[in-house]
Amino acid sequence: MPTDVYLYDAVRTPFGKYGGALAGVRPDDLAAHVLRTLVERAPALEPDRVDEIVLGNANGAGEDNRNVARMAGLLAGLPTSVPATTVNRLCGSSLDAAIVASRQIAIGEADVVLVGGVESMSRAPWVLPKPEKAYPAGDATLVSTTLGWRLVNPRMNLEWTVPNGEATELLAIRQQVSRESQDAFALRSHQAAARAWEEGFYDGLVVGVPGVDLARDESIRPDTSLAKLAALKPAFRKQDGTVTAGNSSPLNDGASAVLLGSPSAEEIVGRPPLARIAGRGAAANDPQYFGFAPVEAANTALRRAGIGWSDVGAVELNEAFAAQTVACINAWGVDPGIVNAHGGAIAIGHPLGASGTRVLGTLARSLQAAGKRWGVAAICIGVGQGLAVVLENLDT
């Protein structure tokens, strides 16, 4: 029989703006910092007792190339005997890393796994495709690896390759999500994040990066308003669009991590677990409706956990766009007040590979703060996928 899998600790860096305070820090150093922090915060954990490192990373085209998980483990000072692997499921990479690691633990192949994700969208390089023939006579184009489709296969269905913003416009139309509801949700994200920081919710969950003067998430705008958000022009459809820079997640840099373990890991790490991973789910749909994929992923995870939406007391859904977040909330039929109660990616930021374990760690802390037993962490993924994990709070 599979063994239970527990979440023992969670940590992340503040998330920096694109070109902001963390732009001078390499992604492998960001990842190393959160891994090192997890080990240091586990009183009894000897580094050689770590069985595996699993990190998520979406771009992998620059300084995060060549298995950034292994590089981060070495930079963090972990023994060379600790193996490491990097997972890429785009925006869901680190939540996928947690799922991969939890399965290793469940079948008895590991007791302690460091899991996380990292992205430096500021430092993502341009790439230049190799020519098919030597000495081409024409011009060559540099392609940005920061975000979205690149070097698209011409055989791919054109409907599937629309930019994420246009895809979100299509979803907003299909699910009848208005511009007004998107802006209202974005405002709530900023207000909730600012309030959570002021009330100390993120104390202990967020650790500053050495040598960088950044104590809080850099993209939060506590002074924004519905009027300011309504004044922004559509970013993707100039005439009739509803998706703007204000109701979308920004580009960011950052890293996050969680410590997962078996029941016997409590003695190894020297601290009790915070939550149990009770269910996992993955789903896929048409790529242009990627933002809606968390709906079925979460439903699947809940079914595998043996509970329903009426049991859920907290939800952390990555806010790639307000339109897709609102669409998912409406489809689930849950109270919006339990979703992202401490702010979401529209305010906090969305460094692609780091967002999965960011929502997972925040969920564990949110369940504790609210005294609720069951929670769902979910994320949408470009090219039409979604992931979800159900946590059971052990303090109830």
3-class SS of residue 3: coil
Q: How far is CA 146 from CA 121, 122, 143, in A?
A: 5, 7, 9
How far is Cα of residue 281 from the mean position of the Cα atoms in its chain? 15
Q: How far is CA 371 from CA 225, 342, 366, 367, 394, in A?
A: 31, 15, 8, 6, 10
Spatial separation of the C-alpha atoms in residues 226 and 219, rounded to whole Å? 17
Active site residue 380: yes
**Distance linking the first and last C-alpha atoms of the chain:** 25
Choice among 33, 190, 342, 380 that is catalytic: 380
Active site residue 328: no
Q: To 10 degrees, what angle do helices 93-106 and 355-370 make?
A: 70
**Across 107-172, where does the E strand assignment appear?**
112-120, 126-127, 143-144
Tokens (6 digits) for 366: 């949110």
CB-CB contact of 196 with 222 (8 Å): no
Choice among 91, 190, 328, 342 that is catalytic: 91
On the 0-12 / 13-18 / 19+ scale of CB atoms within 10 A, 198 is exposed
Neighbours of 254 (CB within 10 A): 34
3-class SS of residue 293: coil
Spatial separation of the C-alpha atoms in residues 13 and 344, rounded to whole Å? 15
Active site residue 91: yes
Burial 12-36 (b: 16+ CB within 10 A, else e): bbbbbbbebbbebbbbbbbbbbbbb
Name the CA radius of gyration of the chain, rounded.
20
Spatial separation of the C-alpha atoms in residues 159 and 181, rounded to whole Å? 26
Spatial separation of the C-alpha atoms in residues 337 and 366, rounded to whole Å? 12
Tokens (6 digits) for 35: 């891994």
Angle made by CA atoms 356, 360, 365, in degrees to the nearest 5? 145
Spatial separation of the C-alpha atoms in residues 377 and 393, rounded to whole Å? 13
Which residues are known to be catalytic? 91, 350, 380
